[in-house]
Amino acid sequence: MLLATLLWVGSDTFVKYLSNTYSMPQILWARYTFHVVLVILFLGRRLPGAMRSRRPGMQLARSALTLVSTGMFFYGLRFIPIADANAVFIVNPIFVTALAVPLLGEVVGWRRWLGVATGLIGALIIIRPGMGVMHWAITLCLIAASINAFYQIATRFLSRFDRAVTTVVYTPLVGFVATCVAVPFFWHQPDLQGWLLMGALGVSSGAAHSALVKAYEAAPAATVTPFGYSSLVWAVIFGFIVFGDLPDLWTVVGAAVITVSGLYIFHREHRRTGGA
């Protein structure tokens, strides 16, 4: 899980750097194309078997959700520091907890609802609506986090029907097809550095998904998921080293509130399932 978060923040860094030269459709094309290449190389002859799904429609819907979420988050990254974007996006697990009630029929007690409310307060501290101090692109990242929550819910649902490797294979498909259609209208011929960064973006994103799947195979979600908050550390480090950005005090405070609330939710989940 630590490796997955490191790779994802590395991907964010590539995106923000590339966005100075290339359009977002082209960056998304690179992200999904090189991801697909990585999947093909990794699975080889096992690919046809891995694509057999009992719920192909849901798999494609899930793939579309990650395209929309990723596109909105990447576009927000063009305008704001990596640390600020990740500070808002970590509200995602809190959205997942709230959505699990109507969509998966899970029971959430009042303590976890309190954790959800606290996490949303943390997001409001970062955004500070009506005060005119936070960039509008922060809202894009918040919407991306909410869409990604539906993606996570779909992942949980599909785990009842398909193998993890099948879900991994379907993840980049809609993004690959959609961006291949769109990219000719936005194409800017990359130089060698551009190709290398685009390849690194796709490979790091694909490797992050694989590392995440392996993490959930090795340990319960309540044990693994809290380590995802390490993305805040990587985001601050990468943002400062590459772009010279540091989050302001309110972003740090809001991120701390979200992190504490998320860890509390996972603690309650762990207790509910008999893990503690």
Summarize pLDDT for 17-41 with one digit per residue, the tens.
Answer: 999 999 999 999 999 999 999 889 8
Over the stretch 166-197, which tens digit does the pLDDT of each residue have? 988 999 999 999 999 999 999 999 999 999 99
- What is the pLDDT at residue 220? 63
Tokens 């498909």 sit on residue: 173
Tokens 């490191």 sit on residue: 6
pLDDT for residue 6 is more than 50: yes
pLDDT for residue 132 is more than 70: no
Q: Kindly state the average pLDDT of the residues 40-50.
A: 89
Q: Give the separation between CA 135 and CA 157, rounded to whole angstroms.
A: 35
- What is the pLDDT at residue 92? 77
pLDDT for residue 237 is more than 80: yes
Tokens 């995440």 sit on residue: 212
Write down the pTM of the prediction: 0.84
Tokens 């093909």 sit on residue: 40
Can you read off the two tokens belonging to residue 22? Answer: 């290339």
- What is the pLDDT at residue 274? 57
- What is the pLDDT at residue 131? 53
Q: Give the separation between CA 99 and CA 84, rounded to whole angstroms.
A: 24
Q: Helices 56-77 & 2-18, crossing angle to 10 degrees?
A: 60
Query: What letter represents residue 59's amino acid?
Result: Q
Q: Kindly state the average pLDDT of the residues 38-54.
A: 90
pLDDT for residue 127 is more than 90: no
b/e 12-35 (16+ beta carbons within 10 angstroms → b): bbbbbbbbeebbbbbbbbbbbbbb
Confidence band for 7, pLDDT divided at 50, 70 and 90: very high
Q: Give the separation between CA 178 and CA 126, rounded to whole angstroms.
A: 33
pLDDT for residue 96 is more than 80: no
Confidence band for 3, pLDDT divided at 50, 70 and 90: very high
pLDDT for residue 276 is more than 50: no
Q: Kindly state the average pLDDT of the residues 187-212.
A: 91
User: In this predicted structure, which of 66-70, 113-117, 166-170, 201-205 has the lowest mean pLDDT?
Assistant: 113-117
Q: Are 11 and 204 in contact (CB under 8 A)?
A: yes
Average pLDDT, the chain: 85
Confidence band for 90, pLDDT divided at 50, 70 and 90: confident
Chain centre distance of CA 138: 15
User: In this predicted structure, which of 2-11, 134-143, 177-186 has the lowest mean pLDDT?
Assistant: 134-143
